């Protein structure tokens, strides 16, 4: 992990400097991620396109590990504190999950904050899932076999989009079945915890002040912090939540969010497989060029998705 930190600091020391301004943060984050996205699995086909949502067009990227038949799909929602990231910054993660799961991985370039505020991004993710159900064949995808995956803020958004689709079906919209979730070191609703008090610093951009900054950018109204699509731990998790694969990092300030979610899902008898990785920081999934733990987490997450989606046959 030390070698990873040293490399990232050399590439872009300002990647998490919230006091540097959002434009500089985004530029530095993109530079730093470019190195980590080199290499990785080669796809049979990659399709870059756009999808219409109620909040405008969003760019999506479909990574197909093979062609010649309709594949199940995993909607991938990238992390970045709701303010950073895009399809390029998380491309290797998406390709690795496609390789390991055998599914098409469809990344979404949802609208970032503060330009777009909660719940715009979540609604765009749900709209993409609905589009894949209706029109997946255009991309070689079987939209009846669908999962969500995401890291960091994108993990929480993946869970939230699943809950939103459930609630939309309750309100009379056509149902969209989600077969599984793969959630990596996500943010699920805790505002205070032991891990937040003990961990985090300038090396990972997750000090208490950093977390407050990201949330302030994301929310138009502080009262939205109580929404079940942000405070997912306060949502009704007893129905409509599919089998879930959870990853937490032992040195992550958000560690306790994952342990809390795992406990809640077990309490509601939702199938949940939780793996904790020792000695790694938040965001370690990016570092598969140098970090064995990242490779293993992606392998295990992909295998979980493969099994869940195969069960939909």
Residue numbers annotated as active site: 152, 252, 282
Residues 110 and 121 sit within 8 Å (Cβ to Cβ) = yes
Residues 110 and 58 sit within 8 Å (Cβ to Cβ) = yes
Residue count (the chain):
313
d(CA 239, CA 236) in angstroms, rounded, equals 7
3-41 burial by CB neighbour count: b if 16+ within 10 A, else e? ebeeebeeebebbbebeeebeebbebbbebbeebbeebe
Question: From its phi and psi, is residue 178 left (phi > 0), alpha (psi between -120 and 50) or beta?
Answer: beta
Between helices 120-135 and 153-170, what is the axis angle to 10°? 60
Location of structure tokens 């970045």: 80
- Extract the tokens encoding 184: 């990596």
Residues 230 and 118 sit within 8 Å (Cβ to Cβ) = yes
Q: What share of the chain is helix, strand, coil (3-state, %, to 5)?
A: 45, 20, 40
């Amino acid at each position: 992990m030390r070698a990873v930190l040293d490399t990232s600091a050399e590439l872009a020391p300002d990647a998490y400097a919230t006091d540097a301004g959002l434009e500089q943060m985004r530029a530095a984050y993109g530079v730093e991620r470019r190195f980590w996205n080199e290499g990785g699995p080669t796809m049979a086909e990659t399709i870059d396109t756009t999808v219409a949502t109620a909040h405008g067009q969003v760019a999506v990227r479909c990574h197909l590990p093979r062609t010649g038949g309709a594949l199940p799909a995993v909607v991938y929602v990238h992390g970045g504190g709701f303010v950073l990231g895009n399809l390029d910054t998380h491309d290797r993660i998406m390709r690795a999950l496609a390789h390991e799961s055998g599914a098409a991985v469809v990344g979404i370039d949802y609208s970032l904050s503060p330009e777009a505020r909660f719940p715009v991004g979540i609604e765009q993710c749900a709209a993409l899932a609905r589009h894949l159900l209706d029109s997946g064949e255009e991309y070689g995808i079987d939209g009846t076999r669908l999962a969500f995956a995401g890291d960091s803020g994108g993990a929480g958004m993946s869970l939230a989009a699943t809950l939103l689709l459930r609630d939309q079906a309750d309100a009379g919209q056509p149902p969209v079945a989600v077969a599984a979730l793969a959630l990596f070191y996500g943010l699920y609703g805790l505002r205070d915890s032991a891990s937040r008090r003990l961990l985090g610093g300038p090396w990972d951009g997750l000090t208490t002040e950093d977390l407050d900054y990201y949330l302030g950018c994301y929310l138009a109204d502080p009262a939205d912090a109580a929404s079940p699509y942000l405070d997912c731990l306060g949502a009704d998790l007893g129905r409509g939540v599919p089998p879930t694969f959870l990853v937490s990092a032992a040195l992550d300030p958000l560690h306790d969010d994952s342990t809390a979610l795992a406990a809640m899902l077990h309490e509601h008898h939702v199938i949940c497989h939780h793996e904790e990785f020792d000695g790694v920081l938040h965001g370690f999934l990016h570092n598969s060029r140098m970090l064995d733990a990242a490779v293993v987490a992606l392998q295990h997450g992909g295998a979980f998705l493969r099994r869940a989606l195969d069960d939909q046959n």
